[in-house]
Amino acid sequence: MIEDRTQYDYPACAIQKDPQTGKSGVIINRSGEMMIPYAYDALKQCYLENEAYCFAAKKNGFWGCIDVHQKTLLPFAYDSINYDGRKFFPAAKKGKWGTVNMNGTVKIPFIYDDVSSLGFEGKIYLVKKDSLYGFVTADGQVLLVPAYTSLDLLSNSANKSTPWYVLTDIKSKKTLWNKATQLLAFPAKYDSIADVSAHRVIVVSAGKYGVVTTNGNVVLPCKYDYLKFLSVIDDTQPLLIKAGDKYGLAGSTTLAAQFNDLQSISGGFYKVRSVGKYKIIDRTGKAVTKEEFDHIGVFVNGMVPVFKDDKMAYMDVKGQVGKYQPYACSGYTELDSLFRDMARVMSTKDDSLLMQFCRRVTPEPYTLAFMKSINLDHRDFIHDIEHKAYTMESITESWFLRLQDMRKQWDKKGVIGELRYIGLSPDFTYLRDEKYAVETFTKTVIFQEGDIKIVFKPSDLTRVDGRWKAFKLPSRM
């Protein structure tokens, strides 16, 4: 049933088809009386500016518009009408699309193969001509001549919508168009657009990553194997770079790619690993302390947890480490290690190893305490645990049962040997919380055994205080 609009002196009604003739009409919901007889091939309800409603109607093969008294508002002369709630709406005439109002006044001329409103404002329309896309204003002014084979709204690595659309030209080269400024950022010349921040864009050309400003000026040439924003809000923050299998920083701070791992741990500090242990450096590359650790968390209120030899302590920004004490937390600091272990335990068919894996990958009391400390109620986890909607033990058990079930399904597909983890593409996480370096992974992972490929989707793995934890069950695939 549609919205009740009796307050506008128009009774709530519904479009119905006559089962005998197939013709459409309108009945009044409360009384069942006919408002409009079964006389039309099709009807669509529309609303006018004064809150009254009317109908787009099809008769004798053509569309027009009528009011509730069947008075013709728009002549029956259109191939199609896509009323979108605006004064001027898309319609087709003689095989071409434009926009028209109830008085028949045309704004966007009927010269396009398709016309659709871009977003809810109705100020910009996407038009298609000869299989190419462009943009025009609601008044018909051409903003961008149709010259692009596709367009996609770009979300950044914080999973936030942006005003940018990625446009692809007939040579498969890409550029950006800004919906707010209605301008192209630069000529279409890149193979891919990886990410966008406030004023910078990560671009890809011939498989190499670089950075340009949002008006096309080169910041970093396309020579890196991977680039990643550590902040999409603050352009003064450096970027993570990868050259070969080594990581470094570029931008406001430059550190040559020399580390096996490099991660932001908040406050302008980074944890780096050259061999097996981690140490902390500042944005100049200077070590905060000479001591190395098995794992390092994230700075919160000037203190960071450091882990060594099964004990934990807190260190301040000057490198002073407090007293070590036993701790009860575990987890994976790198996704590659997590998925390699998963391949191994799924291959062994050993339930005890599978349970150990599930304990490492699911939240624990330490996870809860850290999330409370930074007020991160991801997926209502804190709320649900505190209100006893479920327990952390039940999350672990649910993961165990789901992986058990998936292992049986994989067995049916003929996976009887050793699974091999194939790897991840570089653009696989998004920043959930920049300040505390919280990232979320939602992509699929590929495992392989012989010629058989297995697709696995964890649904939601989130790195909390440097460890990847699961807050949803993996999808059955």
The pLDDT score that the predictor gives to residue 50 is 62
Neighbours of 254 (CB within 10 A): 13
Residues 6+ apart with CB under 8 A from 125: 90, 99, 108, 115, 116, 117, 118, 135, 136, 137, 138
Do 421 and 383 meet the contact criterion of CB atoms below 8 Å apart?
no
The pLDDT score that the predictor gives to residue 64 is 97
**Residue 30, pLDDT above cutoff 50:** yes
Rounded percentage of the chain residues whose pLDDT exceeds 90: 75
Half-sphere exposure at residue 173, Cβ-oriented, CA atoms within 13 angstroms: 9
**Residue 474, pLDDT above cutoff 60:** yes
Do 440 and 462 meet the contact criterion of CB atoms below 8 Å apart?
yes
Q: How confident is the model at residue 342 (pLDDT cuts 50, 70, 90)?
A: very high
Q: How confident is the model at residue 49 (pLDDT cuts 50, 70, 90)?
A: low
Neighbours of 112 (CB within 10 A): 23
Give the alpha-carbon dihedral of 133, 138, 140, 145, to 10 degrees.
-20
DSSP structure class, residue 91: E
Give the C-alpha separation, 408 to 37, whole Å. Answer: 59
The pLDDT score that the predictor gives to residue 88 is 92
> What does R_g of the chain's alpha carbons equal in angstroms?
29
DSSP structure class, residue 378: G
* Order of strands, sheet of 132-137, starting from the edge strand that comes earlier in the sequence: 114-117, 124-129, 132-137, 142-155, 161-169, 174-178, 183-184
Specify the range with the lowest mean pLDDT, choosing from 179-188, 192-201, 443-452.
443-452
Give the alpha-carbon dihedral of 137, 152, 209, 460, to 10 degrees.
140
pLDDT tens-place string over residues 283-334: 888 999 889 999 999 999 999 999 999 899 999 999 999 999 998 889 999 8
Task: Name the E strands within 188-283.
Answer: 192-196, 200-205, 208-213, 218-224, 226-229, 239-243, 246-250, 255-259, 261-264, 269-273, 278-282
Quick one: which of 415, 412, 403 has its CA closest to 353? 403
Neighbours of 71 (CB within 10 A): 9
Give the C-alpha separation, 402 to 355, whole Å. Answer: 11
Count the helix, strand and coil residues of the chain and give each as a percent rounded to the nearest 5. Answer: 15, 45, 40
Residues 6+ apart with CB under 8 A from 408: none
Helix (H/G/I), strand (E/B), else coil: 360? helix
Look up residue 143 and give its amino acid: L
- Residue 239 backbone dihedrals phi, psi, to 5 degrees: -105, 150
Neighbours of 276 (CB within 10 A): 8
Helix (H/G/I), strand (E/B), else coil: 351? helix
| DSSP per position, 296-346 | E---BTTEEEEEETTEEEEEETT--B---EE-----BSSHHHHHHHHHHHH
**Residue 85, pLDDT above cutoff 90:** no
Q: How confident is the model at residue 229 (pLDDT cuts 50, 70, 90)?
A: very high
Rounded to an integer, the average pLDDT of 381-385 is: 94
Angle at 462 between CA 460 and CA 466, to 5 degrees: 160
**Residue 271, pLDDT above cutoff 80:** yes
Residues 6+ apart with CB under 8 A from 345: 353, 354, 356, 357
Look up residue 413 and give its amino acid: K
pLDDT tens-place string over residues 422-434: 887 666 788 889 9
**Residue 6, pLDDT above cutoff 50:** no
Give the C-alpha separation, 69 to 296, whole Å. Answer: 73
Give the alpha-carbon dihedral of 69, 71, 74, 75, to 10 degrees.
130
Give the C-alpha separation, 266 to 263, whole Å. Answer: 9
Expressed in angstroms, the distance from the first to the final Cα of the chain is 37
Own/partner long-range contacts of 367-373 (Cβ < 8 Å, ≥24 apart): 367/329, 367/331, 367/392, 367/464, 367/465, 367/467, 367/469, 368/392, 370/297, 370/300, 370/464, 370/465, 371/464, 373/300
Tokens standing for residue 171: 């040579």
Half-sphere exposure at residue 16, Cβ-oriented, CA atoms within 13 angstroms: 17
**Residue 9, pLDDT above cutoff 70:** no
pLDDT tens-place string over residues 147-181: 999 999 999 988 888 999 999 999 999 999 999 99
Helices (H), 92-134: none
- Count the residues in the chain: 477
DSSP structure class, residue 457: B
Neighbours of 360 (CB within 10 A): 19
For 163, counting Cβ atoms within 10 Å of its Cβ (0-12 exposed, 13-18 middle, 19+ buried), the class is middle
